[in-house]
Amino acid sequence: MPEQGSAVVPGISRSLRVQSGMSFADFERLVRASREDALRDTLARHRHAIQVKNEQTAIRNLERIFSATLKISNEKGFQAMSIRDLSKETGLSTGALYSYFSGKDELLTMLQQQERDLVQRILLERIGEHSDPTERLRTAIRIHLYLSEAMQPWFYFSYMEAKNLSSSERKKAVSSELYTEEIFADILRNGQKSGVFKKRDPLLTAGIIKAILQDWYLKRSKFARRQVSVNKYADFAIAFVEAFCREHSGAY
């Protein structure tokens, strides 16, 4: 995977470029502000099929449709969700829903593409602000956790529904998963070259980091019972990974 460098990724507001130690509350507000851009991109990408002409109406309804899809799917499963269920949850008629997509397969493709793009854009934008390998690793861990908290319904949906996706969507999901792991592996390789990180298998280490990140959004109730916030989990995960990876790990 090529070095990410410090290039700005199109489609993400420069307001996202704040200190890597930002709180989740600040980050959540910025992600909400960026979501409208993502919805606008989705509308432009599917403008040939979406019959609603007013842009703001279309964007507002796409957000309602996607949110309702995730809510219903995480309760009963995407395959079990009917268009009637979606109509009831969104308050839109079935006819109105079909003015945005031709069927559930197209709806799934639209939703998955938008959310994958949003995650990758924000993650790369934030990592690209840093050249130091340690800061890049810290940022990658923190921002991935913040994204999974801000977008928890989609992260949970994507993980739980993976086995039920079509062959093409499964391939895209696997590719996205591997892409994220490669981001971490690339940071580790560069840190090893500069003598900051220990010579450990980058891909295996990246896979373990990914598992730590997944535990947060798959077992949220466990951490809620223990009163562990996403900020606390991010701090601990960063310190834990650094202790394993860094040649001379100090207090974080």
Contacts of 100 (CB under 8 A, 6+ apart): 50, 51, 52, 58, 61, 62, 65, 107
Quick one: pLDDT at residue 28? 83
Spatial CA neighbour of 65 closest among 119, 107, 112: 107
| pLDDT confidence bin for 24, thresholds 50/70/90 | confident
> What pLDDT is stored for residue 5 in this prediction?
35
Higher pLDDT, 170 or 241: 241
Residue 35 is classified by DSSP as H
Residue from 193, 202, 190 nearest 136 by CA = 190
pLDDT of residue 12: 34
Q: What is the rounded average pLDDT for all residues in the chain?
A: 87
- pLDDT, residue 249, reads 54
Helices (H) and strands (E) in the chain, counts: 11, 0
* Length of the chain as a residue count: 252
* Predicted TM-score of the model (pTM): 0.84
**Rounded CA gap, 172 and 109, in Å?**
10
Compute the half-sphere exposure of residue 3: CA atoms within 13 Å on the CB side of its CA: 11
Sort residue 195 into left (φ over 0), alpha (ψ -120 to 50) or beta: left
Q: Residue 2: what pLDDT? A: 34
The more confident residue out of 94 and 249 is: 94
Name the CATH topology of 24-245. Tetracycline Repressor; domain 2 (1.10.357)
Report whether 100 contacts 182 (CB < 8 A): no
Where are the chain's structural domains? 24-245
Mean pLDDT of 80-105: 96
Pairwise CA distance, residues 211 & 214, whole Å = 5
Who's near 53: CB < 8 A, 6+ residues apart? none
- The answer to whether the beta carbons of residues 131 and 6 sit under 8 Å apart is yes
Residue 11: per-residue pLDDT = 37
| 220-230 average pLDDT score | 93
Instruction: Look at residue 21 in the predicted model and tell me its pLDDT.
Output: 58
Largest CA distance in the chain: 62
Residues 6+ apart with CB under 8 A from 89: 68, 71, 72
- pLDDT of res. 162: 81
Average pLDDT of span 214-239: 93
